[in-house]
Structure 1
Amino acid sequence: MYKRLKNYFHPITQLEKKRKALSVPKECSQELRRLLRTPLPKPDKCLDELDFLVLDFETTGLNPTEDSLLSIGNIRIENNQIDMDTAAHCYLDDNQKIKAASAVVNHIMPQMLLEGEQLEEAMNRLFIKMTGKIVMAHGAVVERSFMQAYVRKRYGLNDLPIIWLDTLKIEKHLVYHSKGDNFELQLNAVRQRYGLPLYSAHNALVDAISTAELFMAQKIKIFGRQAKKTTIGEMYCRATC
């Protein structure tokens, strides 16, 4: 009885109710429509039984209404393993202007975008990959806000009820409960605390792979031997944006 009530009031259950109640605009692409029509897993579903799509966006800045998306990297976690065969990366050519400040950080230059994909094409491919998956990023507020801004501008859709996990939030939760201080939450800084190798930052695919590896390490640190029995509901409470 308690478990049933707990699941009923769980944020994932409430998110699924939002998804069911969502009025999908007729203008939505088939790819986005399929994503929004796919049920979310129940909170008591084991993490190891779920598939994940790990994302990273490189952008010209942090404001999705003023800045542009430059590149997308993604990779899947399936059967509790990172599937390198699914690694994908693309540049975007959508008439955006690269800012000098962002070029210093991510080293993406205008000529690199000349043969890039159109934003709509790249997003529809991403929606296909996201369907039936838990979506993950490090500092997911960036990926989430740019994706939300896209569907709002393109389709007038004000909500995108999918499950996001954020490895930055997971780490913040861990550090808070260990009463640590003076800690950094940048991807490579967190990876270093786990003894993971340092990769070149600010490449969308490299950062997606780095995030996937970090998540696997975090899961073991939090749940130990119980990791195989850990549910998406338990992890979601530590990793929501």
Structure 2
Amino acid sequence: MIKRLFQSFHPLEQLEKQRQAECGKGTVASHLKPIFQAPVPPPDTPLETLDLVVLDLETSGLDPETDAILSVGMVEIRQQILSLSSGQHYYLLAADAVKPETAVINHIVPETLAGGMTEQACVEKIIATLAGKVVVAHGAAIEQGFLRRAFQLAPDAPMPLVWIDTLMLERSLSANRGKVNPDLRLCHIREQKGLPPYLAHNALADAVATGELLLVLIREIFAGKTPVLGPLVQRSLKGYA
């Protein structure tokens, strides 16, 4: 009973209540129904029973209100195995949004986006892929902000997606080791974990690199125990455990 009472306050349980309440209003936009219709899994759900999608967005900046999504990379993890064959990589028709200061980082120039898809078409792809799955990102706040705008969610409406943030997972592990101000860049963490170099700032490559890192972090966090969803979500929100 005590365990159940504790779980009722877990962020996943709260998100499920928000999802049900929003669905009960009958005002969910039709394009968002696949996401809102999928129940939020409880905290004790074994990770191997869940499908995960690693998401990376390359953007023209960090402000969802003034910047734009330039490319999207997604790859799935099933039964804790990264499925390279599931990889998706899209460029958006947003040539006017390219900025010199970000182009030198992600190498996305207007010519790259000339044959891209519209944001609406890309949003449809994203929703179809993420619905009913757990979303993984490195520094997830950026992806969350841009998705909220792309989904056209009202400021007070929940986004009933479950997120695991590899940056916050490593921050929690660093805090447990007593490290202050750790380097949380994806490339640095991978190097520290013995993972190979990769093509940074390419949306699909970053998604694959994040997925590989997640699998290493899961083994480190659970240390032989059965991985379950709840602790990963809590660490992703708080940066400690």
Range into which the TM-score falls when normalised by the shorter chain: over 0.9
User: Secondary structure of the equivalent of 2:76?
Assistant: strand
Q: Which residue of 2 aligns with 1:239?
A: 236
Would the aligned equivalents of 2:47 and 2:79 in 1 still touch at CA under 8 Å? no
Give distance in 1, aligned partners of 2:227 and 2:26.
Answer: 33
Would the aligned equivalents of 1:24 and 1:33 in 2 still touch at CA under 8 Å? no
Alignment CA distance shift 1:185-1:160 (3 Å)? same
Give distance in 2, aligned partners of 1:158 and 1:8.
Answer: 21
Q: Which residue of 2 aligns with 1:28?
A: 30
Q: Are 2:176 and 1:177 aligned?
A: yes
Alignment of 1:119-198 (within 5 A): 119-152=119-152, 158-198=157-197
Q: Which residue of 2 aligns with 1:88?
A: 88
Shift of residue 158, structure 1, vs aligned partner:
3.4
Shift of residue 8, structure 1, vs aligned partner:
1.3
Structure 2 length-normalised TM: 0.93
Give distance in 2, aligned partners of 1:53 and 1:157.
Answer: 25
Shift of residue 183, structure 1, vs aligned partner:
2.3
Structure 1 length-normalised TM: 0.93
Alignment CA distance shift 1:197-1:95 (3 Å)? closer
Q: Which residue of 2 aligns with 1:14?
A: 14
Alignment CA distance shift 1:100-1:223 (3 Å)? same
Q: Which moved more, 1:191-200 or 1:17-26?
A: 17-26
Paired-residue identity, %: 36
User: Secondary structure of the equivalent of 1:161?
Assistant: coil
Shift of residue 224, structure 1, vs aligned partner:
1.2
Would the aligned equivalents of 1:58 and 1:69 in 2 still touch at CA under 8 Å? yes
Shift of residue 239, structure 1, vs aligned partner:
1.3
Deviations, residues 60-91 of structure 1 (Å, cap 9, x unaligned)? 00000000100000000001100111011010
Which 5+ residue runs of structure 2 have no aligned equivalent? none
Give distance in 1, aligned partners of 2:235 and 2:138.
Answer: 13
Q: Which amino acid aligns with 1:239?
A: S
Would the aligned equivalents of 1:59 and 1:68 in 2 still touch at CA under 8 Å? yes
Shift of residue 55, structure 1, vs aligned partner:
0.3
Q: Which residue of 1 aligns with 2:57?
A: 57
Q: Which residue of 2 aligns with 1:210?
A: 209
User: Secondary structure of the equivalent of 1:83?
Assistant: strand
Q: Which moved more, 1:182-191 or 1:163-172?
A: 182-191
Q: Which residue of 2 aligns with 1:200?
A: 199
Q: Which amino acid aligns with 1:21?
A: A
Would the aligned equivalents of 2:95 and 2:114 in 1 still touch at CA under 8 Å? no
User: Secondary structure of the equivalent of 1:225?
Assistant: coil
Q: Which runs of 4+ in 1 moved over 6 A?
A: none
Deviations, residues 93-144 of structure 1 (Å, cap 9, x unaligned)? 0464210001011000101101101001111111011111000100011100
Which 5+ residue runs of structure 1 have no aligned equivalent? none
Alignment CA distance shift 1:60-1:82 (3 Å)? same
Give distance in 2, aligned partners of 1:47 and 1:225.
Answer: 13
Give distance in 2, aligned partners of 1:2 and 1:113.
Answer: 54
Give distance in 1, aligned partners of 2:20 and 2:235.
Answer: 25
Q: Which amino acid aligns with 1:28?
A: S
Q: Which moved more, 1:95-104 or 1:105-114?
A: 95-104
Give distance in 2, aligned partners of 1:26 and 1:223.
Answer: 37
Q: Which residue of 1 aligns with 2:117?
A: 117
Would the aligned equivalents of 1:152 and 1:158 in 2 still touch at CA under 8 Å? no
Q: Which amino acid aligns with 1:125?
A: K
Give distance in 2, aligned partners of 1:15 and 1:204.
Answer: 28
